Amino acid sequence: MKKFFLIFTPLLLVLLVLGGYLWYRYWFVFAEGVKAGNLNKVEYKGYIFKTYEGTLIQAGIKSGQVAGTVQSNEFRFSVTDKAVADSLMRCSGKNVELHYKQYKGTLPWRGMCDHVVDKIIAVKEDNSKW
C-alpha cells in the first residue's frame, strides 16, 4: 500500500497542477467589459475549426509601433454564439456596443482572438457625414 502511494501521489499532484494551469490559461475569464465603435467586419473563417472573427474600429487614433506613425484603434474579437454572429453580420457599418470576455489564451474552436464577444449591448446607425 505504501508503494502505491509513493507512485500515484506525485502523479496525482502533477495532474492537478497541469489541470490548474490549463484552466487558468484557457478557461479563466481574465477580464470582461464593453467596447464601442464602428463595426468593420464579421467573417466566418478557418481551415479546420470554423470560427466567427470580427473587427471593431474605435473612435480616435493611437500611435503606431514606429515613431511618428498613427493608426486606427482596432478591436479584434471572436464570437462563439452563432446567433450573436448572425446579428453582428447584419450590423456592419453601424455603431455597436459589445460585451466581451478576455481569456489568457486562445482555443482553436473558440476563435483566434483572446477577446470573445458574448452579447450585443446596443446598435446605433452611424449618422456622421463624410
Distance CA 107, CA 116 (A): 11
Which residues on adjacent β-strands are paired with residue 74? 57
Counting Cα atoms < 13 Å in the Cβ hemisphere of 128 gives: 9
pLDDT of 70 reads 64
pLDDT in tens, 79-91: 999 999 999 999 9
| The three three-digit cell numbers of residue 58, written as one number | 474605435
Q: What is the CATH number of domain 30-124?
A: 2.40.50
* DSSP reduced 3-state for 86: helix
pLDDT in tens, 46-78: 999 999 999 999 887 666 666 666 667 899 999
CB 25 within 8 A of CB 105: yes
Distance CA 116, CA 76 (A): 9
Q: Could you tell me the pTM of the whole model? A: 0.79
| Distance, first Cα to last Cα, the chain | 79
